[in-house]
Amino acid sequence: MSETGANVKKICFVINPLAGIGGPLGLKGSDGEAGLGALQRGARLIAPSRAREFIAEAKRIGVLDKVVLLTANGLMGEDELRSEGYQSPLIVYKYESFPTKAEDTKRTVTNCLREGAKLVVFVGGDGTARDILSALERFRNTDIPLLGVPGGVKMYSSVFAENPRAAAHVLHEWLENPATCEAEVLDIDEEAFRRGELRVRLYGYARTPCSRFLVGSSKQPSPATPDEEENKEAIARYIVESMEHCTLYVLGPGSTTAKIAELMRAPKTLLGVDVYHNGRLIASDVDEKTLYNIVSNHVKRGGKAKIIVSPIGGQGYILGRGNQQISPRIVRLVGKENIIVIATRSKIARLRKLRVDTGDSKLDRDLRGYIRVVVDYGEEYVMKVE
**Residue range 36-48, pLDDT digits in tens:** 666 667 778 999 9
Residue 5 has a pLDDT of 52
Residue 217 has pLDDT above 90, yes or no: no
What pLDDT digit, counting tens, does each position of 173-210 carry? 999 999 999 888 888 765 665 555 666 677 888 999 99
What pLDDT digit, counting tens, does each position of 256-284 carry? 999 999 999 999 998 889 999 999 999 99
Residue 36 has a pLDDT of 65
Report which of 211, 190, 76 is spatially closest to residue 132, judged by C-alpha positions.
Answer: 76
Question: Where among 209, 242, 271 does a domain terminate?
Answer: 209
356 within a domain of the structure (yes/no): yes
Whether this model's pTM surpasses 0.85:
no
Say yes or no: 16 and 164 in one domain.
yes
3-state DSSP call for residue 361? helix
* pLDDT top residue among 18 and 28: 18
First to last CA, the chain: 33
Band of pLDDT at residue 152, cut at 50, 70 and 90:
confident
Say yes or no: 254 and 196 in one domain.
no
Say yes or no: 180 and 306 in one domain.
no
Helix ranges (H only) for the chain are 33-40, 47-60, 78-83, 102-114, 126-139, 164-176, 190-194, 226-242, 255-263, 288-300, 328-334, 345-349, 361-367
Backbone angles phi, psi at 85, to 5 degrees: 95, 5
Identify the domain containing residue 76 by its residue range. 5-209
Band of pLDDT at residue 21, cut at 50, 70 and 90:
confident
What's the mean pLDDT when you consider all of the chain?
A: 89
Say yes or no: 96 and 51 in one domain.
yes
Beta strands 280-283 and 274-277, pairing class? antiparallel
3-state DSSP call for residue 325? coil
Question: Where among 141, 175, 209 does a domain terminate?
Answer: 209
Say yes or no: 182 and 265 in one domain.
no
Residue 226 has a pLDDT of 75
* Residues 310, 342 contacting (CB under 8 angstroms): yes
Say yes or no: 281 and 365 in one domain.
yes
Residue 2 has a pLDDT of 38
CA separation for the pair 49, 56 (Å, rounded): 10
